[in-house]
Amino acid sequence: MKKNLGRTSRTPLPELVPECQQCSACCFSELERYVSVTGNDYSRLGQDAPVYVQFIGNRAFMRMSDGHCAALSLDATSCRSTCQVYENRPQTCRDLERGSPSCLGERHAKTERVFFHLRILSQ
């Protein structure tokens, strides 16, 4: 007997969804307070923390730049995006499981933003 493993027939398997570093849709937002950073996250970011984290009041968030996380590097030549802190990224980013309903929602809502920014950079 096959186990469902909590997936519906409409939820794709993670292997059918691009690797996070090839997608980066979830890194886009116009909100300044998009990705919260905990004390543990700040420590894990190490030397990069002052570059990529901003404080709003007494709360810390990943810095946003041009509609996406400042840690996201976009390369128009290769049409790729790279998270500069991927190995040390905040827990919020770690918790967004590739292929999960939340991931698919981000891809559905924001994938075009990635291509838009890459087109602008290539001009």
Highest average pLDDT, of 8-17, 19-28, 32-41, 75-84, comes from: 32-41
Tokens matching residue 93: 């980013």
3-7, 12-16, 103-107, range with greatest mean pLDDT: 103-107
* Residue 122, pLDDT score: 74
Q: Is the pLDDT of residue 3 over 50?
A: no
Q: How much of the chain, in percent, has pLDDT values that exceed 90? A: 55
Residue 114 in this model has a pLDDT that exceeds 50: yes
CA distance 8 to 24: 24
Any idea of the CA torsion for 55, 88, 67, 119, to the nearest 10 degrees? Answer: 160
List the single range of 38-47, 71-80, 85-94 with lowest mean pLDDT.
Answer: 71-80
pLDDT more than 70, % of the chain:
86
pLDDT (tens digit per residue) in 86-106: 999 999 999 999 889 999 999
